[in-house]
């Protein structure tokens, strides 16, 4: 787990006085690589009683065609480009901003799969 709260020590090395305990809202989550395969998702409880769905594997994306303004479900074939990390292309890891090859054509991922639990993408003009 990643704690996103304030540091314990001052730049001089002295200790800060604790104003509060560590809270669940200050805890981040580890990176979950979303791969291509039979759909697997996990539910995470959030601060305040809500929940998020995190994808682990996915095989279908919602692809929007910007010219016709119609969306369709398309099977994901492979990852073509990923600006987050060039090694993610080799490992077929899907993140926001990744360019994926689908049955409908090349598409850029617009959703955050580990936060939203779904892969939404927009077709790229050739």
Rg of the Cα atoms in the chain: 19
Closest CA to 29 of 58, 62, 56: 56
pLDDT score for 126: 66
Q: Residue 63's pLDDT is what?
A: 97
What token pair was written down for 9? Answer: 């020590």
**Does the pLDDT value for residue 29 go beyond 90?**
no
Tens of pLDDT along 73-110?
Answer: 999 999 999 999 999 999 999 999 999 999 999 999 99
Map out the domains of the chain as residue ranges. Answer: 31-123
CA terminus-to-terminus distance, the chain: 42
Beta strands in 15-118 (DSSP E): 27-28, 35-36, 40-45, 51-58, 60-65, 70-81, 99-102, 105-109
Please state, in angstroms and rounded to a whole number, the distance separating the CA atoms of residues 106 and 77: 10
The reported pLDDT for the residue numbered 1 is 65
Alpha-carbon distances, residue 3 vs 7, 29, 110 (angstroms):
10, 9, 27
Indicate the CATH number for domain 31-123.
3.10.290.70
C-alpha 17/C-alpha 27 separation (Å) is 20
């Amino acid at each position: 787990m990643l704690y996103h709260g304030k540091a314990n020590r001052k730049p001089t090395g002295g200790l800060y006085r604790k104003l509060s305990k560590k809270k669940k809202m200050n805890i981040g989550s580890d990176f979950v690589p979303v791969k291509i395969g039979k759909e697997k998702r996990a539910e995470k409880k959030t601060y305040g009683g809500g929940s998020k769905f995190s994808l682990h594997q996915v095989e279908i994306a919602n692809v929007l065609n910007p010219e016709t303004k119609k969306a369709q479900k398309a099977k994901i074939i492979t990852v073509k480009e990923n600006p987050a990390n060039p090694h993610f292309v080799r490992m077929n890891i899907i993140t926001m901003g990744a360019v994926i090859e689908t049955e409908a054509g090349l598409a850029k991922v617009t959703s955050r799969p580990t936060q939203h639990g779904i892969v939404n993408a927009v077709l790229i003009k050739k």
